[in-house]
Amino acid sequence: MRNPVQKLVLALAWVGVLACLLFVQGVQAEEAPADPTAAIGEIKVALDTVWVLLAAFLVFFMQAGFAMLEAGLTRSKNTGNIVMKNLMDFAVGSIIYWAVGFALMFGVGNGFIGHTGFFLRDTFAHLGLAIPLDAFWIFQVVFAGTAATIVSGAMAERTKFGAYLIYSAAISAVIYPVVGHWAWGGGWLSKIGFIDFAGSTVVHSVGGWAALAGAIVLGPRLGKYNKDGTINPIPGHSILSAALGVFILWFGWFGFNPGSTVSALNLSIASIAVTTNLAAAAGACLALILTWLKYGRPDVSMTLNGTLAGLVGITAGCAAVTSGAAILIGAAAGILVVFAVEFFDRIKVDDPVGAISVHAVCGAFGTLAVGLFAKEGGLFYGGGFELLLTQATGVATVFAWTFGLALLLFLAIKATVGLRVTEKEELEGLDLGEHGMSAYPEQVDMERSLAGVVRVEALGR
Amino acid sequence: MKKVECIIRPSHFNAVKDALASIDVQGMTVTQVMGFGKQKGHTEMYRGSEFQVNLLPKIKIEVIVKDQHVAQLVDVVSKAARTGEVGDGKIFVYDVVDGYRIRTGEQGEAAI
């Protein structure tokens, strides 16, 4: 037990502590409380940023979708090469887009092109972004990557890897960013009211027309077309891989379309997700029905393409049309893509995965469809022909720019470093010829697969 | 010593394997092969183009037996592999010049 003196000291100490606490509390209470409006503003920015980043990550994952789809629809002797093309067009594209592309697309400029902010050395304040520049950039780079990777499918199984890298750098540096500037970077297309919300034209048609140029300059795969005009099917090696690719692309598209609001507070992200999904579903259903009627049995790979056709088709108008219209647009795209695939085969443009049919043709269609179905200004809503003509202008000019430039580029590559592999290499497979490896070593030859088996000498017996 | 080569339907492989075991056949070599005889192939469709698939998957079983066992083996395999439909397969018999067991060095019929 403490003596009375100790008790007194203890009591005084406690009083002192209490007094200090009250004093501090009082001091704090005298400061102004945090401004609620500013706090809400901060939360808004955070929400928008998180949404844009999430959407960007979803669109990035579409790279995996493209890789799986393209690998699945091509032969196993070329799988390693397809993987490399898909990996590197994003890797190379990312750096080039950071250094040059983004500036041309979103920099201060004129109606044709931007010219400030190379290497992201600018605030880009003129964009009036509500989110950090980095968030906006990463969102944009994955879109650029999507345009670039479309081409690898149409040019699969016969393109020199180095030549492909050159093309890849060019599309991410110039071809795509200029179109992006016209429509989204304050350029002349946006000024005349052109609507391409998430990129049916800017991303998918750009990729698709470049793919067309590439496929034409390359020529068809060996043994694809006979002299009498008949077509030899070259089946892909894994329909399961192709299907997984389509599912991944569908999933990623939920970042592609709704993400293009660039804001979480714009609750149309919900209706955009719905139009996106319905168009994909309708595209799949109509491709299914059409192939069932045409070929007698529902065709798996065409139905997969039909799904993508619906997605590409709705990308321009996902924010401007009703759910019902989305179904019609997706359905029409699903039908269109089947005929387009057959058409390109008939004119001997060999496209192993249907990239041109899905992205160029349905991209153009989806863009025009906005002129018909937009709730504000669409022909079917009493808007007259004005929007439709604006959309057509965009489609035509982007075709001319993209196809023209890409054609020149591929012809230049062909004349210099060469675009196509040798016949011998094409027959052996690009994995061996371009990369000195095999994606499926156990299937190549016994000697190589035995190389993986443990050697008895190594066991020390 | 004879080599008996049986080309049969994949669906009947297990039945033939069991039948061979029932007559004390000591070993066999099995390969997956493609081929056709009178059995026609089928038509497939890929992205709008038709093509004929004439090669059909079959199983090839190779067995080495003494001369006096060939007749019984052919009989047993035929019964196990027969469905009565076109595509049941074929059995061919070849002369074997010589044979060796690698582990022991035994030669001739002792190697079987």
According to the model, what pLDDT value does residue B51 have?
82
Residues of A with CB under 8 A from a CB of B: 231-235, 294-297, 299, 301-302, 338, 341-342, 345, 354
CB contact under 8 Å between B46 and A235, yes or no, is: yes
According to the model, what pLDDT value does residue A124 have?
95
Whole-model pTM: value is 0.87
The CA distance from A140 to A109, in Å, is 18
User: Of the given ranges (A27-41, A268-282, B71-85, B94-108), which has the lowest mean pLDDT?
Assistant: A27-41
Q: How far is A439 from chain B (nearest CA, A)?
A: 23
CB pairs under 8 A between A and B: 30
Q: What is the ipTM of this complex?
A: 0.76
Mutate: best of A74, A224, A234, A346, partner B, most B CBs <10 A? A234
pLDDT band at B55 (very low <50, low <70, confident <90, very high): confident
Q: How far is B42 from chain A (nearest CA, A)?
A: 14
Residues of B with CB under 8 A from a CB of A: 44-49, 51
Secondary structure letter of residue B100 according to DSSP = B
Residue of chain B whose Cα is closest to the Cα of A351: B47
CB contact under 8 Å between A341 and B48, yes or no, is: yes
Residue of chain B whose Cα is closest to the Cα of A225: B49
According to the model, what pLDDT value does residue A447 have?
66
Dump pLDDT digits (tens) for A263-272: 999 999 999 9
For A342-375, the DSSP string reads: HHHHHTT---TT-HIIIIIIHHHHHHHHHHHH-T
Contacts (Cβ under 8 Å, ≥6 apart) of B89: B6, B7, B8, B9, B58, B81
CB contact under 8 Å between B49 and A345, yes or no, is: yes
Enumerate the residues of chain A whose CB falls inside 8 A of the CB of residue B47.
233, 299, 301-302, 341, 345, 354
Q: Which of B44, B47, B51 sits opposite A302 (nearest CB)?
A: B47
The CA distance from A406 to A172, in Å, is 12
According to the model, what pLDDT value does residue B26 have?
78
Q: Which of B44, B48, B51 sits opposite A232 (nearest CB)?
A: B51
In the three-class reduction of DSSP (H, G, I as helix; E, B as strand; rest coil), residue B91 is classed as: strand
Enumerate the residues of chain A whose CB falls inside 8 A of the CB of residue B46.
233-235, 301
**Among residues A224, A295, A288, which one has the least CA distance to residue B43?**
A295
Residue of chain B whose Cα is closest to the Cα of A337: B47
Enumerate the residues of chain A whose CB falls inside 8 A of the CB of residue B52.
none
According to the model, what pLDDT value does residue B40 have?
79
Dump pLDDT digits (tens) for A63-111: 999 999 999 999 999 999 999 999 999 999 999 999 999 999 999 999 9
According to the model, what pLDDT value does residue A25 have?
64
| Cα dihedral: A269, A272, A273, A277 (round 10) | 180
Q: Which helix (H) or strand (E) holds A174?
A: none
pLDDT band at B96 (very low <50, low <70, confident <90, very high): very high
Mutate: best of B42, B43, B44, B47, partner A, most A CBs <10 A? B47
**Among residues A159, A229, A208, which one has the least CA distance to residue A398?**
A208
Q: Which residues of chain A have pLDDT under 70?
A: 1, 23-34, 444-461
CB contact under 8 Å between A354 and B51, yes or no, is: no
